């Protein structure tokens, strides 16, 4: 591939999130948006008009049009990720597949095998890895031992093909797996369907082999929108606000003595807080996570490199999400929640 050539891109699925992919490809240098794939005729007509590109009802129709595609974003509902991405990868088209990589491990494994066989780049859309707050704190991690993740949304009738674990919690599962760097030892989970037939609110505790523990709460039936991850490392607390894209770090000064701190603090009436603690708000670069994610994908496509977020990491996050679903089913059975609990059915 010549380094200066524009990469020819298609976006499959032009719903709520696919529209963001379209916009970002249009705004980024180095890419030429050449087509979209969208079976909904009304939506297809809108995209055709707004972006002046052909919109095909199926992947097959787009491939038959001989568009010489280099790469595509797959932003169709999760249950169709495998069908759409496998067709593209089999045609040699590199894919950025929205999270979660697929709906089942068999599907994820198949996508990975097809990508490997065809020498294609396959990147799962774990967007928060490109959140500037995450990019700023990641190189400074020492040994996170306790995580508390909250991801709450108000209800919207979208992503109802999956439960809240595959819809929202998957972001935090991927980040914590990346930060904890240890295999999962034990999962405990409770989930409840509230408005949809699938789990809409879930609380999960994961313990890692390293002894690190993570608590996750995800809800799509909340009254407020929250996107936060807090974690403790030895002598340091970090709070990441994904939505505000900022960080708060509280560190215990080297040589800290609680006795001295209490004596000093008392003398000052604790007006300045506890002496010996430093509060900082590390600098976070500006940048839209999706733009950073898509740019990184395009770089991998151009350089034929393994992407920053690998398909195997996408599979790992999916494996944990599916284990959480299994544990939630066990819990629901123990609690006698019966038929009203159906996290994986449609
Ligand atoms: N990274 C994030 O933060 C984030 C946020 C929202 C959604 N997502 C992901 O994006 C994906 C889409 O979510 P959404 O909220 O945009 O859903 P949506 O229902 O709004 O849009 C999906 C679109 O895909 C189209 N579609 C269905 N089957 C298709 C097929 N076979 N080929 C092409 N198009 C097809 C539908 O007609 C619809 O227009 C999901 O995987 C979701 O998890 C990611």
Supply 238's token pair. 């970090």
pLDDT band at 182 (very low <50, low <70, confident <90, very high): very high
Q: What is the structure's pLDDT at 258?
A: 84
Residue 59: give its domain's CATH number.
3.40.50.720
Asked if residue 38 has its Cβ within 6 Å of ligand 1, the reply is yes
Judge if 86 and 141 occupy the same domain.
Answer: no
- Alpha-carbon dihedral sign for residues 133, 134, 139, 145: positive
Alpha-helical (H) ranges within 248-346 are 258-267, 289-303, 311-334
Judge if 265 and 120 occupy the same domain.
Answer: no
Question: Is the per-residue pLDDT at 346 higher than 70?
Answer: no
Asked if residue 43 has its Cβ within 6 Å of ligand 1, the reply is yes
Question: Is the per-residue pLDDT at 343 higher than 50?
Answer: no
Neighbours of 155 (CB within 10 A): 15
Question: Is the per-residue pLDDT at 122 higher than 60?
Answer: yes
Look up the pTM and report it.
0.94
* Ligand 1, atom 28, residue with closest C-alpha: 76
Asked if residue 12 has its Cβ within 6 Å of ligand 1, the reply is yes
Neighbours of 239 (CB within 10 A): 17
Judge if 156 and 103 occupy the same domain.
Answer: no
Pick the atom of ligand 1 nearest to 15's CA: 21
Asked if residue 19 has its Cβ within 6 Å of ligand 1, the reply is no
Q: Mean pLDDT, to the nearest integer, of 5-26?
A: 97
Q: DSSP characters for 108-123? A: HHHHHHHHHHHT--EE
Q: How far apart are CA 42 and CA 20, in angstroms?
A: 18
Asked if residue 151 has its Cβ within 6 Å of ligand 1, the reply is no
Judge if 109 and 178 occupy the same domain.
Answer: no
Judge if 99 and 141 occupy the same domain.
Answer: no
For residue 317, what are the contacts with CB-CB under 8 A and spacing of at least 6?
99, 100, 101, 124, 126, 170, 173, 174, 177
The tens digit of pLDDT for each residue in 291-328 reads 999 999 999 999 999 999 999 999 999 999 999 999 99
What is the Å distance from ligand 1's center to 240 Cα? 27
Q: How far apart are CA 111 and CA 92, in angstroms?
A: 12
Residue 295's domain comprises 7-126+289-308
Q: What is the structure's pLDDT at 57?
A: 98
pLDDT band at 271 (very low <50, low <70, confident <90, very high): low
Q: How far apart are CA 51 and CA 56, in angstroms?
A: 13
Judge if 20 and 97 occupy the same domain.
Answer: yes
């Amino acid at each position: 591939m010549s380094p200066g050539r524009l990469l020819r891109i298609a976006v499959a699925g032009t719903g709520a999130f696919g529209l963001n992919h379209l916009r970002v490809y249009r705004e980024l240098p180095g890419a030429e948006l050449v087509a979209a794939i969208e079976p909904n005729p009304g939506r297809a007509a809108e995209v055709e008009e707004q972006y002046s590109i052909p919109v095909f009802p199926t992947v097959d129709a787009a491939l038959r049009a001989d568009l010489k595609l280099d790469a595509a974003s797959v932003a169709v509902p999760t249950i169709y990720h495998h069908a759409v991405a496998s067709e593209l990868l089999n045609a040699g088209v590199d894919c950025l597949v929205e999270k979660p990589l697929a709906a089942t491990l068999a599907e994820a494994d198949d996508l990975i095998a097809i990508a490997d066989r065809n020498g294609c780049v396959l990147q799962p859309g774990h967007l928060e890895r490109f959140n500037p707050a995450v990019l700023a704190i990641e190189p400074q991690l020492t040994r996170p031992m306790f995580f508390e993740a909250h991801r709450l949304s108000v209800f919207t009738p979208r992503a109802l093909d999956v439960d809240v674990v595959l819809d929202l919690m998957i972001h935090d599962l991927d980040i914590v797996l990346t930060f904890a760097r240890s295999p999962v030892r034990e999962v405990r989970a409770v989930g409840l369907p509230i408005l949809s037939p699938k789990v809409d609110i879930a609380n999960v505790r994961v313990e890692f082999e390293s002894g690190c523990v993570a608590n996750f709460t995800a809800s799509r039936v909340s009254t407020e929108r929250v996107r936060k991850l807090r974690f403790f490392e030895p002598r340091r607390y970090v709070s990441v606000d994904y939505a505000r894209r900022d960080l708060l770090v509280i560190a215990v000064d080297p040589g800290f003595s609680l006795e001295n701190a209490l004596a000093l603090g008392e003398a000052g009436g604790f007006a300045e807080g506890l002496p010996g603690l430093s509060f900082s708000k590390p600098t976070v670069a500006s940048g839209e996570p999706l733009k950073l994610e898509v740019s990184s994908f395009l770089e991998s496509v151009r350089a034929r490199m393994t992407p920053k977020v690998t398909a195997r990491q996408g599979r790992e996050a999916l494996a944990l999400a599916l284990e959480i679903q299994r544990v939630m089913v066990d819990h629901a059975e123990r609690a006698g929640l019966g038929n009203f609990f159906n996290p994986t059915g449609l």
